[in-house]
Amino acid sequence: MIFNSVKKILPLIFLLTCFAVDGQNLCDTLFTLKGDTITCKITFVNEYNVFYSYKHKRNAIKDSFIPRSQLIAFRLHSPGVSVPALGENAQEVSTPVNYSENNGIIYSSNVERPPSYPGGINILYNFLENSVAVTNRDVQIYGDKVVTVAYELVILSNGKLYGASIKESCIQDFDLDLQAERLEKEIMRQICLAGSWQPGIINGEKINMNIYLPLKFKVDKNKIIISPSEYLYIFKHRKL
């Protein structure tokens, strides 16, 4: 009944919501089980997820994705995007519960081989330490505090990093100035510039995969010092 109603209003919603931001035409629409309607540009669809760009604050474009199991339907107008059949176990694959932690990342336990950074995770740490710009204000804010942050990354089947976000952070535990988020976001920006990964594998096939990159860092003069953070306990006791 709900699906039939959505189908009837699809053309009207499409006409009303197609617009351009930063040169991108947001002419696609997602209809979620929660009743939300998301106007966006769909960039990639696999068996389990729909990846898209949408208008964020101040007309900025932000990338995200949603499991297909959480959608009633979606309207695709963007050219060059194919839509494969929905995976049989889409719910289980897109929202895994059990996690493993190895080689500096956290990943779903049903993965045959998780994504990995070329040359090892220490190469990524070195890149971040040499690339992240630390300001005098950062030094004042952090002092000698050691901060733990967990970043969520989406690694595509071709190894490209599709997107990154901050999943967990302990800066609020230190009652730090809100400007402390600047450095966390700068680290995330540099992660996105660090190049491609080796993709994850399930059943012998390279697939798109979410992983979590936990980092522990402190500010030392004009740079950051990064070390691995064993973050598994937190993820084992919550449903992501």
The structure's pTM equals 0.58
Predicted confidence (pLDDT) per residue in 72-96, tens digit: 777 887 776 777 766 544 443 333 3
Residue 234: both structure tokens together: 């937190």
In sequence order, the 6+-apart residues with CB closer than 8 A to the CB of 30 are 36, 37, 38, 40, 42, 50, 52, 66, 71, 74
User: How much is the pLDDT for 23?
Assistant: 45
pLDDT at 63 over 50: yes
Q: CATH fold of 2-93, please? A: SH3 type barrels. (2.30.30)
Q: Distance (Å, rounded) from C-alpha 74 to C-alpha 76?
A: 6
CATH 2.30.30 residue ranges of the chain are: 2-93
